[in-house]
């Protein structure tokens, strides 16, 4: 039986979510770190704030004012790919 809450990375590997959708989610988080519900794939959403907060390295990178925008984007993207999507 398929996992009802797959990671975004699993959805990406299954081609249910695109690179552009993952990048858009990262940009949405960086624009508003309090984003709680973001549609990530057809029928799935993701709490972006919880995804980054739940990933130790990503939360440290985005909180560090000395981190470059590119590093913040990469850390956010990593946290998103490892987070579990919720069935909408």
Query: How many domains, in total, are found in the chain?
Result: 1
Q: Give me the sign of the Cα torsion angle 61, 5, 28, 70.
A: positive
Residue 24 lies in a domain: yes
Q: What is the phi/psi pair of residue 41, to 5°?
A: -155, 170
Q: Which residue would you say has higher pLDDT here, 2 or 61?
A: 61
Residue 77 lies in a domain: yes
Over residues 68-79, the pLDDT tens digits come to 999 999 999 999
The predicted pLDDT at position 57 comes to 97
Report the pLDDT averaged over residues 10-31: 96
Residue recorded with tokens 């960086």: 30
Strands (E) located in the chain: 38-41, 44-46, 86-87
The pLDDT confidence band at residue 2, using thresholds 50, 70 and 90, is low
Residue 2 lies in a domain: no
Its domain, for residue 71, covers 8-87
Provide the whole-model pTM: 0.93
């Amino acid at each position: 039986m398929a996992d009802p809450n797959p990671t975004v990375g699993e959805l990406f590997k299954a081609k249910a979510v695109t690179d552009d959708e993952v990048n858009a989610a990262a940009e949405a988080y960086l624009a508003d770190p309090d984003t709680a519900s973001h549609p990530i794939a057809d029928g799935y959403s993701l709490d972006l704030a919880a995804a980054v907060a739940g990933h130790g390295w990503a939360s440290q990178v985005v909180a560090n004012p000395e981190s470059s925008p590119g590093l913040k984007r990469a850390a956010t993207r990593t946290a998103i790919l490892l987070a579990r999507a919720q069935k909408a």
